[in-house]
Structure 1
Amino acid sequence: MTHDDELSGTLLAEIGAMIARILEKYGLGDVRVEMTTAFHDDLEMESIDLVTLGGMLAERYGENVSLAEFLAEKDLTEVIALTVGDIVAFVRSRLGAPAGVD
């Protein structure tokens, strides 16, 4: 297992736990989250849930991980198709970037 695979696995577990906390309010905290899990189709998360997730990501990984900026670069079709793997890849890329650099 490479360091990137290990980091992705760790991020998937941490982000999956964040998603589970968000979904608990709908009685869905035990949902299985994988890289291919789609926020819209599989989890039925709404935009307010993504805002909540964005806050959790920034709190855990720092302000350099801005989900709002990431989503602003996408059109509606891309946001609807967003998967957990997309978020994992985004966080992984931002963790290696210096603060304030896009």
Structure 2
Amino acid sequence: SYINSSKDEKTHKEEYAWNAKVENEDEYTQMILLTWVLYDQYIQQTIQISAMWNHQIDLNLIYVALNGCRKDANLTIQLLFEFEQWIFRDNNKPKIQSKNK
């Protein structure tokens, strides 16, 4: 595919970049873990936000919130706080649990 401008090229490189980490090696072989840069960014933010709630919020929910908030951690935290308030208001927790079964 043709890339129109330097901004598009930068975006393309960011979207398709990989991180490499040597996981294990001996004198003859190396095991290298390749992870997608965007995945690494999401997982780091997700774990940090999860720690703020003592790991009580499902990581998938945090990921969806981050994605919906365009990776803005502060906006994501606010959204999760509002969601948590909604759960306990009007006893919405049983409604969520019954849908997950």
**Pairwise TM-score range, normalised by the shorter structure:** 0.3 to 0.5
Q: TM-score, normalised by structure 2?
A: 0.33
Higher RCO (Cα < 8 Å, 6 or more apart)? 1
- The two structures have a TM-score, normalised by structure 1, of 0.32
Q: Which has the larger radius of gyration?
A: 2
Comparing both structures, which one devotes a greater share of its residues to strand?
A: 2
